[in-house]
Amino acid sequence: MFVSSLLAIGLAPLLASAAPSWSVGPTTDYATKASTKTCSVLDYDGVADGKTDIGPAISSAWDDCKEGGVVYIPSGEYALGSWVTLTGGKSTAIRMDGTIYRTGEDGGNMIFIEHTSDFELFSSNSKGAVQGYGYEFHKDGSLSGPRILRLYEVTDFSVHDLILVDAPAFHFSMDTCSNGEVYNMAIRGGDSGGLDGIDVWSNDIWIHDVEVTNKDECVTVKSPSKSILVENIYCNWSGGCAMGSLSTDVDISDITYRNIYTWSSNQMYMIKSNGGSGSVSDVTLENFIGHGNAYSLDIDQAWSSMSTVSGDGVQLNNITISNWKGTEANGAERGPIKVNCAPGAPCTDITIEDFAMWTEEGDYQTYVCNSAYGSGECLKEESGDVTSYSTTVTVSTAPTGYSAASMDADLATAFGTDSEIPIPTIPTSFYPGATPFSALAAKASSA
């Protein structure tokens, strides 16, 4: 019964029209792993009483099932007082159907998976959650607590149907990973910087159908990264999606963000640096809808929130921004287009097309382009050598077709940093009119 009911829960078949061009996900299906061996934490002195530290039980279960088995955390409430580092997994999975509550106070990573391949971390009931209780740090002004989840050198993997809440620091980071799929997740954090949703610096990763609430990064690509596809993302009162901060020897290419909905956030998309070196190339930012955001398109290579680093600037080349619609909070104060490139490394081959944003306050907006070459709006066409320049365009007429749909679950207010943040349910819609690529595991298992 256990095995047969999970046959539909592993990686759902990828839609041919949506799958990335590279392979992602585990190479062995969940049913095979579960039939080989299943290690329930309840058999390793784990207790679902909300008080007993589940850390040692998870580690022991991992040791017994990390090569061809499943670590199983049944429904129930568990305390996590000591962090777990799970290493050396091969053809394994963690099925987390219960809720884990942070009780420890160390820094670092609450759950750290490293040097592992053919791996799946998921909840079969789509209710598995980690409650980080970050407000216990944040109410005193501290961001020195732990991340909730970090993957390092993990290959051929998926993470899905999980809920991460109120991380003391970052919620989820993927460092030097490859061939991974992340989907059907809800991340909910406090209204503060330093509480990133998903950070990724890896190769061949597909992130889709994720909701993030915080006030820092929604889904962010960092260096080095190659072949990253991010789509159907709901930045619901967040910092918004971004790339960076970019520093020296940057190496990022083949990045696509598609179907990104951003509500009441810092920006719809930002590429941020201040000095530095290296390059970003072959980036597509398409099908963006925004409402009530401070910035919309914000490419800033003199970002004042970042200390200047050595170098003439990161070279940005072949970046296409297309089909952006909606409204910004105040287009006179923060216009919907800012492409502020480094004078020592002007941006090249930038395209802005089908861009229709309008201001919610006032009757005009500005476009700012500095040292940016390409086509569209305030960009300067290339003709021979590229040099530094600066131009500002004032627009006093609303563009045709800026009206765009909103989402029913748009939050009326942010979650604060001085009280408990409730655990949400995973939504079934992440972008207006877009169907999630995979059904929630809870629905698949009951089908």
CA 437, CA 447: separation in Å to the nearest integer?
17
In this prediction, residue 11 has a pLDDT band, given cuts at 50, 70 and 90, of very low
In this prediction, residue 306 has a pLDDT band, given cuts at 50, 70 and 90, of very high
pLDDT at 54 over 90: yes
Q: What does the pLDDT look like over 395-404, one tens digit per residue?
A: 999 999 999 9
Percent of the chain residues topping a pLDDT of 70: 95
In this prediction, residue 384 has a pLDDT band, given cuts at 50, 70 and 90, of confident
Q: Please count the CA atoms within 13 angstroms of the CA of 167 that sit on its side-chain side.
A: 32
* 20 CB neighbour count, 10 Å cutoff: 19
Rg over CA atoms, the chain: 22
215's CB contacts (< 8 A; 6+ apart) are 189, 190, 191, 192, 193, 195, 237, 238, 239, 266, 414
3-state secondary structure 351-385: EEEEEEEEECCCCCEEEEEECEEEECCCCECCCCC
In this prediction, residue 4 has a pLDDT band, given cuts at 50, 70 and 90, of very low
Q: Phi first, then psi: what are they for 427, rounded to 5°? A: -70, 165
**Residue 329 corresponds to which tokens in the numbers above?**
């909070």
pLDDT at 19 over 90: no
Strands 365-370 and 390-395: antiparallel
pLDDT, residue 14, reads 33
Query: Among the CATH numbers 2.60.40.420, 3.20.20.70, 3.30.420.40, 2.160.20.10, which is that of 238-410?
Result: 2.160.20.10
Do residues 317 and 347 make contact, with C-beta atoms less than 8 angstroms apart?
yes
Length of the chain: 447
445's CB contacts (< 8 A; 6+ apart) are 5, 6, 8, 9, 124, 125
Percent of the chain residues topping a pLDDT of 90: 91
pLDDT, residue 21, reads 87
Taking residues 157-177, report their average pLDDT: 98
The 8 Å CB, 24+ separation contacts for 102-107 are 102/130, 102/131, 102/132, 102/133, 102/146, 102/168, 103/51, 103/53, 103/79, 104/53, 104/55, 104/80, 104/146, 105/145, 106/82, 106/146, 107/144, 107/145, 107/146, 107/169
Q: What is the DSSP letter of 103?
A: -
Q: What does the pLDDT look like over 323-376, one tens digit per residue?
A: 999 999 999 999 999 999 999 999 999 999 999 999 999 999 999 999 999 999
pLDDT at 10 over 50: no
Q: What rounded mean pLDDT belongs to the chain?
A: 94
- Domain range summary for the chain, segments of one domain joined by +: 1-14+22-217, 238-410
Q: What does the pLDDT look like over 73-115, one tens digit per residue?
A: 999 999 999 999 999 999 999 999 999 999 999 999 999 999 9
In this prediction, residue 445 has a pLDDT band, given cuts at 50, 70 and 90, of low
What kind and span of H or E run contains 285? Answer: strand 278-293
pLDDT at 226 over 90: yes
In one-letter notation, the amino acid at residue 360 is: E
Q: What is the DSSP letter of 62?
A: H
Q: What does the pLDDT look like over 118-145, one tens digit per residue?
A: 999 999 999 999 999 999 999 988 888 9
For 19-166, list the strands marked E by DSSP: 38-40, 70-73, 77-80, 84-87, 90-96, 99-102, 109-122, 129-131, 147-160, 163-165
CA 258, CA 112: separation in Å to the nearest integer?
29
Asked if domains 1-14+22-217 and 238-410 share a fold, the reply is yes
pLDDT, residue 109, reads 98
In one-letter notation, the amino acid at residue 418 is: D
User: For residue 128, which of 100, 97, 105, 152 has the smallest C-alpha distance?
Assistant: 97
Whether pTM > 0.85 for this model: the answer is yes
pLDDT at 1 over 70: no
Residues with active-site annotation: 216, 291
Domain covering 1-14+22-217 assigned CATH 3.40.50.11780 in the classification: no
CA 26, CA 157: separation in Å to the nearest integer?
5
